[in-house]
Structure 1
Amino acid sequence: MSLIGPQLNAVFDRFSKNAPDAIKTPINSSRAELATFDTSQAIKIGDRIPEFKLKDAVGKEQDSTALRASGPLVITFYRGEWCPFCNIALSGFQKHLDDFKAKGVTVVALTPELPNGTLTMTEKHELQFPVLTDPHNEYARKLGIVWKQPESLRPVFDNFKHNLPKRNGDDSFELPLPATLLVDKDGIVRNLYLNPDYIKRVEPQTVLAWIDAL
């Protein structure tokens, strides 16, 4: 069984051991701040999702109603192609994509990154499910899962040459929490993973078990 948890932990362990304090300190401080994110206003199990029409990596519009027409929908949010934890999480969904398809489930990923970034993500990780741009986190905001990063992280992004304003098309410095939702054909959230700690992600096998429980 291929789990993403050990891969996520390995990346963070390397960061903890090797990153200079000028990088590590603001990142760890921001994670501590993010841990206090108020999820009370976020989407919940039993809620109906707002519908969306968002463009994929090649500019084709994808409609949530159409995506649900043939069965349940898994929506997973990621911060950007620059985030190693997101890369591991989406690669995990890709590895199990045949299992999702066998259950009649469509998987889509949403990000504030512009199509140039989503195309890079799709190609680099050989993703065979739609990767959609959520401009200015407008859809994530409707779900109550948008976080404004502290200004102390800007030098960190500059150090890694991750130009977030260019990647996302705005300078809001906001990101979605990497939530994963299982939505039934009627648009109702039937299960949900929402953890402000972006190092922790739901296992694709867990989401497959959600589907079995529908």
Structure 2
Amino acid sequence: MNLTKTLAEMITGSAKRIPPETLQVMNKAISDLAATGIVGAALATGVKAPDFTLKSANGGMVSLSGSLAKGPVVLVFYRGAWCPYCNIELRAYQEALSRINELGATLVAVSPQTADNSLTSKEKNELTFDVLSDAGFAVSDAYGLTFELPDSLVEVYKKFGISLVESNGADDWRLPIAATFVIAQDGTVVLDSVDVDYKVRLDPEEVIACLEKLRG
């Protein structure tokens, strides 16, 4: 799958289906979020990635340090099983998984969903890599990715039938911005992609190119 091309097609299709006034609310929310400076404050290349231990959709516990003991880590933060852009991204990474593993790296995806809803993501997209539950946003907070949705966007989500309260098992409307990090075995971030626009995702080919450089 060419993730960049597939996302572009999705964006075009969504623009035709979603009412202009709704798109305006969604786009304003993106620009307002960008103005907060959240991207500049997020974890970036050259910085040590905070360690964490989270519950896997399979029921076990997975730590960053434990994964790094085996090699580099590709860490993908996504929003939830309700997000079509996230599902496409996860499927693209599943297709690239064998190449990522061949380069000695471990792929891990993290969302604020409950463990049960994380399992939904895993099964829905037929994922064989670890899908972790960051319920409570401890890891998303540590990586500088968490934001609160404005009321106008909450109303849009409700019209779409999306309930973050149900998905995340929390009483608020927060999400992580879309982000992907390649973390070298010493814990240093060597590639980052952090964007307030949920439609922008890092193509697995860029991740693979980075891993190839790491391998020398």
TM-score (norm 1): 0.95
Matches of 1:99 and 1:58, distance apart in 2: 23
Q: What is the aligned-residue RMSD (CA, Å)?
A: 1.3
Count how many residue pairs are aligned between Structure 1 and Structure 2: 213
What stretches of structure 1 of length at least 5 have no aligned partner?
none
**Aligned residue for 2:16?**
17
Contact 2:93-2:204 at 8 Å conserved across structures: yes
1:135 partner SS:
coil
Q: Which moved more, 1:159-168 or 1:14-23?
A: 14-23
Task: Report the Cα distance in structure 2 between the residues aligned to 1:160 and 1:59, rounded to whole angstroms.
Answer: 30
Match status 1:161 vs 2:158: no
Aligned residue for 2:9, secondary structure, equals helix
Mean Cα deviation higher: 156-165 or 16-25: 16-25
Paired residue for 2:26?
Answer: 27
Moved more, 197-206 or 58-67: 58-67
Partner of 2:86: 86
Tell me what 1:138 maps to. 138
Determine the C-alpha separation between the residues in 1 that align with 2:44 and 2:20: 37
CA contact (8 A) 1:134 1:140 kept: yes
Is 1:174 the counterpart of 2:174? The answer is yes
Who is 1:207 aligned against?
207
Runs of 4+ residues deviating >4 angstroms: none
Write out per-residue CA displacement over residues 124-164 of structure 1, whole angstroms, 9 at most, x where no aligned residue.
10001000011221111111111211111122222222111
What is the deviation of 1:22? 4.9
SS in 2 for 1:98: helix
Identity of aligned residues (%): 33
Please, which runs of 5 or more residues in structure 2 have no aligned partner?
none
TM-score (norm 2): 0.94
Partners of 1:206 and 1:122 in 2: how far apart? 23
Deviates more, 1:166-175 or 1:76-85: 166-175
